[in-house]
Amino acid sequence: MRTRGLPLTALAVAAGRAVETSRADPLVADRFASALVVAARSHLDLPTVWPAEPAEAPPLQQPLLLASIYIGMRTRFIDDFLQSGPSTTQTVILGAGLDTRAFRLTWPDGARVIEIDSANVLEFKAHVLSRLSAEPGCELISLPADLSLPWREPLLGAGFDPAQPTTWVLEGLLPYLDAASQAAVLNEVAALSAPGSRAVIERAVALPETDDIEAKLREFSEQTGLPMSEVLARADPPNPVELLEPAGWRCSSHTVEELCSTYGRVLSLAAPTEAGPEATAPEQQPSDQSRGGFVTAWLE
C-alpha cells in the first residue's frame, strides 16, 4: 500500500527502529517497523538493517543510520518510562506516527491508548498492522487531528476522561510545530491532566540560523529527501519545564548524553573501541546540536 502524503519523517523514525531492532544488541524490538517501511514503498532507500560496516554504507544511508542510534535510545527511554512507575489507565500519544507501542508493550488490564496524528498516517499504520494480524495489547483508539489547531473536543469525543490520570507521550512531535503551537499543546496537556498524570516529552531545540547550520540542514535534506529546514521549529521553542512547573508538575530533564551513558551508545558510525563506548571521552563523542533532550514530568 503506497500512501500519498505519508510524512517521510514518520517513516524515517520507523526505519530507525527497524535498524535498531536488527542490531546484535538491540535496545528495542519493534517487529513491525520494517514491515511499515517496506509497505510505504518510499522513493528513498531507507535502511532497515544495521550493516556490518556502517561507516562504509552509501553516503545517502549514513545520516539515517546515525539517526537510528538516537532513535533506538529515544524509543527505549520512552518505553522504560512507560513501563516503570505507577501506570495510568489512559495514555495519549501525540503525533504517534508509526509508533507501535500499543502492540509491542505489555499494558495493564483495562489500559486505553489514544493515538493522535493525521488520518493518512493512522490509516496507513492500521492497514499494515492488520495485514500482519497484529493485535494491540490494550484498547487502541486512533484519533485523526491536527495538533496545531484546538484538539480538546475531538479528544473528549474519542472517550478521553479528564477526571482520570493520563500518561502523555510527546516523541518527535514538538520540532514540527511552531513555538506558539508547542506552547498551546503543552498547556493543553497540563489543562487536561488529573492528579497522578505523567508525561514524557522530547524537547524541540531552537536551531540558530547560522550559515553552518543552514548548510548542514541543506546537505541532510538533499541526502535524505527529508525537508528538515521547512519543518523544524526555528525560533524560541518553549521550555516544557517552564510551562509545566507553574501548573504544579514535578519535572526532570534528561540530556542526550545521559541517554548515551545509560544505554551504552555513542552517536557515531565509527566502530566502538575494544574497551566499549564508555571508554570514549565525552569531548570525543560527537554532539548533536539538533537534539533538545527530554523532560519527564509528574502531577501529584
The residues of the shown chain that bind ligand SAM, judged by CB under 6 A, are 7, 9-10, 13, 95-99, 117-118, 121, 146-148, 171-173, 176-177
Closest contact distance (angstroms) between CB of 195 and ligand SAM is 26
Cβ closer to ligand SAM: 69 or 96?
96
Identify which of 259, 277, 256, 258 has the alpha carbon closest to the alpha carbon of residue 268: 277
Closest contact distance (angstroms) between CB of 167 and ligand SAM is 14
Residues 6+ apart with CB under 8 A from 293: 202, 203, 205, 253, 254, 255, 256, 258
How far apart are the C-alpha atoms of 81 and 1, rounded to whole Å?
33
Closest contact distance (angstroms) between CB of 280 and ligand SAM is 27
Cβ closer to ligand SAM: 32 or 176?
176
Closest contact distance (angstroms) between CB of 18 and ligand SAM is 11
Grid cell locating 72: 533506538
Closest contact distance (angstroms) between CB of 283 and ligand SAM is 29
Sheet of 112-117, strand order: 139-144, 112-117, 90-94, 166-170, 198-202, 294-299, 249-254
Cβ closer to ligand SAM: 28 or 269?
28
Strand 198-202 and strand 294-299: pairing?
antiparallel
CB-closest chain residue to ligand SAM? 97
Closest contact distance (angstroms) between CB of 288 and ligand SAM is 15
Identify which of 232, 211, 210 has the alpha carbon closest to the alpha carbon of residue 221: 232
Cβ closer to ligand SAM: 9 or 166?
9
Residues 6+ apart with CB under 8 A from 281: none
Cβ closer to ligand SAM: 3 or 285?
3
Number of C-beta neighbours around residue 149 at 10 A: 9
The upper half-sphere exposure of residue 222, i.e. CA atoms within 13 Å in the direction of its Cβ, equals: 7
Cβ closer to ligand SAM: 119 or 191?
119
